[in-house]
Amino acid sequence: MANENQTVVVLDFGGQYKELIARRVRECRVHSQILAGNTPIEKLKEIAPIGIILTGGPHSVYEESSPHTTKELFELGVPVLGICYGMQLMAYTLGGEVKSCKVSEYGTIDTFLDAPSALFEGLDKETVSLMSHTDYVARMPEGFKALAHTNDCPVAAMENTARRLYAVQFHPEVERTKNGTRLLHNFLYNVCGAKGDYNMDDFIKREIERIREQVGDRQVVLGLSGGVDSSVCAAILEKAIPNQLTCIFVDHGMMRKNEGDEIEEAFAGKSLNFVRVDAEKRFLTKLAGVTEPERKRKIIGEEFVRVFEEESSKFAGSFLAQGTIYPDVVESGLTTGAVIKSHHNVGGLPKDTKFIGLVEPLRSLFKDEVRALGRKLGLDERLVSRQPFPGPGLAVRCIGEITKERLDILRDADAIYRFELENADLHYSQYFAVLTDMRTVGVMGDGRTYNYVLGLRAVVTSDFMTAEYAHIPYDVLDRISSRIVNEVKGVSRVVYDITGKPPATIEWE
């Protein structure tokens, strides 16, 4: 059955930016859906997309083991845009030739547009684009013409207007490609005939109907952390099924300073049942002696569910709601991506859970979309713009063994760090402190100390899929470091993390 909204299908061939492509399409007010590259043609016909985008990927299309498609994909009469590997796949499948580059292109490359095209309307003839490829289209299929080149890539873009097939060797979805979003907008509106009928109001309406249909008159239990995701999840559930929602706030003892009380206060007076569980000792006992990050996450995830089951036992046959968002699913390796880290609400649920089903209203949304949804639902701005915080809390920012003493050290240092950044009117996408398991020698007064090294992290990002470290002014870093070392017992050295994502993740564990 076709979607109510016009839809563009993003076919995934292993590209790291597939989610970003889908997000950019939505930014252009067009609904997007990511499917595996080997999705049957019949499935695509059922969806009836107005356009199809083929993602990049790490493979060489001329190798037998690489993902392929059939000519039928390009005979559906639906406009297709191939990106990077997607371009090579289009050329290879339709009888062109793809070869290994003499000079591979990585990074921002000067790109020259050679011919007018609906794809390039409004773009400068000389621009820059992000390239990441070791193969190139050496010979285009019959009926195609070249649209652009670089110094080392003779066909940086191509088209067959009669068949509405377009392809670019570069990545228009990333910020480093100048006017890349405009190119995607051109494809959607100039080629696919998009009406721009997808927006957050539409999402709310559809999701509320879906929740009501799924839940009926049953009760729903939500693990509420007070973070953006779980808060927005609570808000849309409350709107969809008022008085059927119980929010269980598991105070596992790994929250930031004073955060438990602030969360309880924020959700007081709502048309939902709020339950706060003091489970600090229980969690710390389970985590005693555990230092491996994945084990921490799995232990905390399972313990969360155990607490939920105990607290919700009076609600026979209840649903479990989670604030899972799309990047959580991707990073946990539930698509074709590699496992980078697991999230407490993805893949960590025990098989013997007693909940009758799972409600995940935000599963298809990116973080910025979740915030936009929260504002539409009337949530307090302090909740909507709250700093991202992992489900396991400070457990994944406390490297090594988790103890109350070490958590208190981290809590105090993190509070100082966040206060000083906000006091200096510095606004970054995410910032937090990390307590390492390393000790170094220091001097306090006339005495020698041997205390912990504390790491500081701040990043700037638009999508949390990639990020750059924040350039905090030295005088602010100096003030933060001085306060932490002098006011937080147990820290003798402060360092600042200047690694981007990739190669690092935003969190340390």
Q: Provide the annotated active-site residues.
A: 84, 171, 173
Helix (H) or strand (E) holding 487, with range, is: helix 474-487
Estimate the crossing angle of helix 367-376 against helix 200-215, to 10 degrees: 80
Separation between Cα atoms, residue 50 and residue 191, nearest integer Å? 9
Backbone angles phi, psi at 505, to 5 degrees: -85, 170
CA 424 from centre of chain:
28
Contacts of 263 (CB under 8 A, 6+ apart): 224, 225, 226, 249, 255
Scanning the structure block, which residue is given the tokens 């019959």? 142
Joined together, the tokens standing for residue 240 give 């969809």
* Cβ atoms of 108 and 128 closer than 8 Å: yes
Report the b/e string of 328-363 with b at 16+ CB within 10 A: bbbbbeeeebeeebbbbbbbbbeeeeebeeebbbbb
Going by C-alpha positions, the residue among 195, 256, 265 that lies closest to residue 231 is: 265
Contacts of 383 (CB under 8 A, 6+ apart): 226, 228, 231, 266, 374
* Cβ atoms of 210 and 358 closer than 8 Å: no
Scanning the structure block, which residue is given the tokens 């996408």? 429
Helix and strand element counts for the chain (H, E) = 14, 18
* DSSP secondary structure string for all residues of 367-413: HHHHHHHHHHTT--HHHHTPPP--TTGGGGTB-SS--HHHHHHHHHH
Q: Is 409 left (phi over 0), alpha (psi -120 to 50) or beta?
A: alpha
- In 157-298, beta strands by DSSP E: 157-160, 165-168, 220-223, 245-251, 273-278
* DSSP secondary structure string for all residues of 109-165: EEEEE-S--GGGTT--SEEEEEEEEEEEEEEPPTT-EEEEE-SS-S-SEEEETTTTE
DSSP-derived pairing of the beta strands 165-168 and 157-160: antiparallel
Joined together, the tokens standing for residue 415 give 């509070």
